[in-house]
Structure 1
């Protein structure tokens, strides 16, 4: 039987052919280190002790024993750099003609971290190594994910803006009837999880302008729209951040006042609003003074009112205010 022996490589050829190699004796003496591996671990030629550890899960053996086991058992090797806990070396090895162990290593999933740590370039890898191609794909993937993330953020913002527009009155910028229904349902905890211990007391104010019809009839609809816009500004100024002001149609407005159940506080609020609205009367409107009538209801946790019932009660109170001479508020 013919004894075949492969061609011997010079040290320079070995370093060029396997830039990530490690050639080591059984006693731990390092014979040769590939230039790329040396760039990452400059002192590796002094020995692997305290520089490499076995990274195989469940294997507590020393790195030299792990190398011998992988080489002689023709298995895979997994090492970790001691001073770079997130950089791993994986590969396999053989015995060369002199009996030394020759390892061919790579970075595996820690490739990008190794490239960053040692400032590696394409010249540091063998031409057959796809390291740079993999890095390109990784960066391209990150770029695509970044674009997708930005697109998703923009889509979410657009969706949120569309929802807000669908719940907003175009003329005044207040909530419309749909927006009010949503806010009121949430305030009453009618989303399938109503609990008395989490619901907040509230007051609902139904406001209707007095003599608004005369503004439209005598001064025109542009003057009417301008008045509605200025009334909305008054309401925005009077309500708190947690409250909701809505225009529910024509010259009708609804205020949802969270946590406000004091009758005296509600009377003071209604007086301030009425006084401010009276000041909005157009000087051209001779013989009439624009004002507001209000119907107010108070809701406490535990009461069985649904949004429709609460709005109906506020409407009833508003009717009483109108019937009592306008420019006033009635609290039920």
Structure 2
């Protein structure tokens, strides 16, 4: 025959038996997982604090809570609040059938509890299953959202990136210029065009031309700042947008360095490739109320002036160059 103590251990692994003197006569095996030793022989109210009802201060008070649910906690584990159903036994003592209530998830996490630490019919086991299922579903959802975000960012990056050089493409320009205008940040636009690039394609083929464009992109990366926007706007034309940089001396030095590095001959497939570059520069300070489009147009006009003046040089836009290409003498000068 199974004893009452064994029966309680099997059916209610989280219980406490208290004798009529207020001493603990036995308890379920799961209590030992909460960081306490054998509680038998110790006074119940010295080991447990009854939170509700708050008037309980003796064994008689506890016995008066027959078939009521009380809230209590182990004094050694104050962070976990327990629920207990008070049942009077036949020897003037009580049995407290304990559970973690809504704190069960925290308790399982804190004390490494398993299903064996609960009654087979305890709904806490189902709650833990649901919690685990929820956590798994949330983790899967988080991972899916992260992958979708990564895919979206990758697609947006591809949409704004030139496939050959890895620089930004024309689509990226409008957004950056708009933000600069909205933030009232001064900036400069350098419009760069390669000289004699068509001769490279015609003489050595498009593979050589692609190599030249990648070579130029590397030079631009090497000589510009982290915050500068580097753009291939098509063919052999590039933009450098420099937020906060309007100092003519620094811009002249940047342009000269870029032109010098691009003009240095290099080898391709056993052939010596030699090109140069021209740069036109527009400053937002020169047209403070006319917006980004005007600054870009000014850089374009200055580029034509650099081309017409012999290529391989940089020119700043000035009012003398006019506001349109038609204002310039020899405005139909062809870029090559």
Same fold (TM over 0.5): yes
Q: Residues 308 and 26 from structure 1, CA distance in 2 versus in 1: closer, same or farther, beyond 3 angstroms?
A: farther
Say which of 143, 152, 155 aligns to 2:148.
Answer: 155
Matched, 1:271 2:256: yes
Tell me which residue corresponds to 1:255. Answer: 240
**Secondary structure of 2:78's aligned partner:** coil
> Contact 1:26–1:64 (CA<8 Å) still a contact in 2?
no
Tell me which residue corresponds to 1:331. Answer: 316
> Contact 1:66–1:77 (CA<8 Å) still a contact in 2?
no
Cα distance in structure 1, aligned partners of 2:101 and 2:31? 14
Cα distance in structure 1, aligned partners of 2:233 and 2:25? 86
Matched, 1:208 2:167: no
Tell me which residue corresponds to 2:213. Answer: 228
Cα distance in structure 1, aligned partners of 2:223 and 2:60? 76
**Secondary structure of 1:164's aligned partner:** helix
Q: Residues 123 and 274 from structure 1, CA distance in 2 versus in 1: closer, same or farther, beyond 3 angstroms?
A: closer
Question: Which string of whole-angstrom CA distances, capped at 9 and with x for unpartnered residues, describes residues 307-332 of structure 1?
Answer: 22221121121122122222111113
Q: Residues 276 and 62 from structure 1, CA distance in 2 versus in 1: closer, same or farther, beyond 3 angstroms?
A: farther
Runs of at least 5 residues in structure 2 that lack an aligned partner in the other structure: 318-336
Say which of 24, 28, 34 aligns to 1:30.
Answer: 24
> Contact 1:210–1:291 (CA<8 Å) still a contact in 2?
yes
> Contact 1:19–1:125 (CA<8 Å) still a contact in 2?
yes
More displaced stretch, 114-123 vs 207-216: 114-123
Tell me which residue corresponds to 1:49. Answer: 45
Cα distance in structure 1, aligned partners of 2:51 and 2:60? 9
| Alpha-carbon offset, residue 294 of structure 1 | 0.9
More displaced stretch, 45-54 vs 299-308: 299-308
Tell me which residue corresponds to 1:76. Answer: 69
Say which of 116, 133, 136 aligns to 1:143.
Answer: 136
Cα distance in structure 2, aligned partners of 1:55 and 1:47? 17
C-alpha RMSD of the superposition: 3.2
Matched, 1:18 2:12: yes
TM-score (ref. length: structure 2): 0.80
Cα distance in structure 1, aligned partners of 2:60 and 2:244? 70
| Alpha-carbon offset, residue 216 of structure 1 | 2.2
Say which of 294, 297, 301 aligns to 1:316.
Answer: 301
Q: Residues 210 and 17 from structure 1, CA distance in 2 versus in 1: closer, same or farther, beyond 3 angstroms?
A: closer
Say which of 192, 202, 225 aligns to 1:240.
Answer: 225
Cα distance in structure 2, aligned partners of 1:71 and 1:137? 33
Q: Residues 231 and 39 from structure 1, CA distance in 2 versus in 1: closer, same or farther, beyond 3 angstroms?
A: closer
TM-score (ref. length: structure 1): 0.81
Cα distance in structure 1, aligned partners of 2:127 and 2:154? 40
Runs of at least 5 residues in structure 1 that lack an aligned partner in the other structure: 1-8
Q: Residues 252 and 106 from structure 1, CA distance in 2 versus in 1: closer, same or farther, beyond 3 angstroms?
A: same
